[in-house]
Amino acid sequence: MLYVANWKMEMSFKEGLGFCRDNYCGFIALSEIEDKRVVLCPSFTEISEVCGIFKNSAIKVGAQDCSDNKVGSYTGQVMAESLREIGCAYCIVGHSERRIHCFESNYLVGQKVLQLLQSGVIPIVCVGETMAEYNAGFVKDVVKEQLIDVFKVIEGFSAYSLCIAYEPVWSVGTGIVPESGYIEQIFDFILELSKKYDKKGQIELLYGGSVDESNAGSIKSISNIRGFLIGGASLDFKKFEKIVQL
Ligand code: PGA
């Protein structure tokens, strides 16, 4: 199982590094549990240092976003290649907070996936419907739309790894978690969509949205789940530890 901690912009540079140092032994212990993989996704500013703190360990580091361009005049953007150079193994793209606040389109998210795969960084593509889309019964249409451009990109790669994190927008940071049967249904749908592109099992399905130590156990029993994308609960080491140990 893969446990991705998305720290968003919840900690400053000093706080993020302090969190890593204070819980260093705990993180190492978690990463050494069989079949558990831990990925920490701090802000861009901390990535290099976090990679340094956890070098020579099984802890992996990820970014929370990257540019959709390879190189050029894109003020404020960060290239996928730089992420790889500083030690990022993963990068979250298409998070609902970026789709909402930065108006990211499905096409743009696909282009980010392209840059990451070209640089050898594993994309964690977030998909999921809003409450209005859920109520209108458009969930599958929305998720399909969000993935079409991603699939077009991966078609061009013979070897790749990719995570798809299903995160209903109405579950992110709200404390509301869908029924396991519902998540399972969406997972089955995503697997059906992706099977043409996933000949070797390179696509891992994650669930994200209000995951905590009280619900992770039951979510974990959903068939085909390969991990979690964890926001709020990843900011409290004890909670994160419990989720990984479950
Ligand atoms: P949450 O966030 O666990 O706080 O709901 C998940 C995410 O945004 O990735």
Atom of ligand 1 lying closest to residue 209 CA: 5
Residue 199 contacts by C-beta under 8 Å, 6 or more apart in sequence? none
| pLDDT confidence of residue 124 | 98
Sign of the dihedral defined by the CA atoms of residues 183, 209, 235, 103, in that order:
positive
pTM over 0.95: yes
| pLDDT confidence of residue 66 | 98
Residue labelled with tokens 């150079």: 85
| pLDDT confidence of residue 106 | 98
Phi, psi of 43 (to 5 degrees): -70, 160
Pick from 175, 154, 176: nearest CA to 164:
154
Residue 167 appears among annotated catalytic residues: yes
| pLDDT confidence of residue 192 | 96
pLDDT along the chain (246 residues), means of 10: 98 98 98 97 98 97 98 98 98 98 98 98 98 97 98 93 98 97 97 90 96 97 97 98 97
Residue 167 CA to ligand 1 center (angstroms) comes to 8
Residue 172 CA to ligand 1 center (angstroms) comes to 5
Query: Alpha-carbon distance 103 to 97, whole Å?
Result: 9
DSSP classification of residue 172: T
Catalytic residue among 46, 129, 167, 204: 167
| pLDDT confidence of residue 147 | 98
What is the DSSP code string of 23-36?
A: THHHHHHHHTSTT-
- Where exactly are the structural domains of the chain? 2-245
Atom of ligand 1 lying closest to residue 232 CA: 4
Reading phi first (left if > 0) and then psi (alpha if -120 to 50, else beta), residue 20 is in alpha
Query: Alpha-carbon distance 58 to 22, whole Å?
Result: 18
Residue 230 CA to ligand 1 center (angstroms) comes to 5
**Residue 196 CA, distance from chain mean position:** 22
Atom of ligand 1 lying closest to residue 96 CA: 8
CATH code, residues 2-245: 3.20.20.70
| pLDDT confidence of residue 208 | 98
